Chain A
Amino acid sequence: DAKTTQPPSMDCAEGRAANLPCNHSTISGNEYVYWYRQIHSQGPQYIIHGLKNNETNEMASLIITEDRKSSTLILPHATLRDTAVYYCIVLGGNTGKLIFGQGTTLQVKP
């Protein structure tokens, strides 16, 4: 499974867009990019995933570069409740093994 690299922390003003980057330069052609977030003392929550096309759902947008070596999670209008640790992982097939990196701690400030 490919490794991911994320900045350890980011700040965002409430109401503004939060753009969280992730590098996954060793991703293979059949691996998907998944994003999860973890609010303190809870289990991680699924946000979005994609293969090579940009994706959007009610929570966020996912922009994947054409070479698929990096992606950006966009929270269009961040709220205080979006303060959490955001994890980017890549996975594919039935290898079973899912490794989380250290994630990015997003602090949304009023």
Chain B
Amino acid sequence: SQTIHQWPATLVQPVGSPLSLECTVEGTSNPNLYWYRQAAGRGLQLLFYSVGIGQISSEVPQNLSASRPQDRQFILSSKKLLLSDSGFYLCAWRIPQGNTGELFFGEGSRLTVL
């Protein structure tokens, strides 16, 4: 069966420090991978998505970046965190099957920037 792992679950970082959130998927191949962010009391904002290794599409200009070094690994990074980067970060995967393909989410990483 397929599983998705996301870590760390919680993180408290000072402004200006770097960030690395990691997501891995097991039990499937060639998934579409996604990073979403949810600020407190807000909806889900798509940050990045990837349809293959090394293929990253960015949705929102920001100081974050994403990389996909392996088929089932998706990393969210920042060189210098801002206060506004605080939020709940969710990784998700999907296998497009024709025109369908359910989206599966990880448990999320809660980032607080102080």
Contact = CB atoms under 8 A, between A and B. Distances in A.
Given A43-B108, A87-B44, A101-B43, A96 B49 contact: yes
Contacts, number: 68
Nearest to B97: A94
Contacts of A57: none
Interface stretch (A14-22, A26-34, A62-70, A72-80): A26-34
Which size class do A's interface residues fall under?
20 to 34
A93 B44 contact: no
A102 interface: yes
Contacts of A93: 96, 98-99
Query: Size range of the interface on B?
Result: 20 to 34
Contacts of A87: 43-44
B74 to A, nearest CB: 13
A100 B44 CA distance: 6
A36 B96 CA distance: 17
Contact of B106 (A32, A43, A92): A43
A66 B88 CA distance: 37
A60 to B, nearest CB: 15
Contacts of A101: 43
B100 interface: yes
B51 A94 contact: yes
The 8 A-B pairs with the shortest beta carbon distances in the complex, nearest first, are: A43-B105, A100-B44, A92-B99, A94-B96, A102-B43, A96-B51, A30-B99, A96-B49
23 contacts: A30-B99, A31-B99, A41-B108, A42-B107, A43-B92, A43-B106, A44-B90, A44-B105, A45-B105, A49-B102, A51-B99, A92-B100, A93-B99, A94-B51, A96-B49, A96-B51, A98-B94, A98-B103, A100-B36, A100-B43, A100-B44, A100-B45, A102-B42
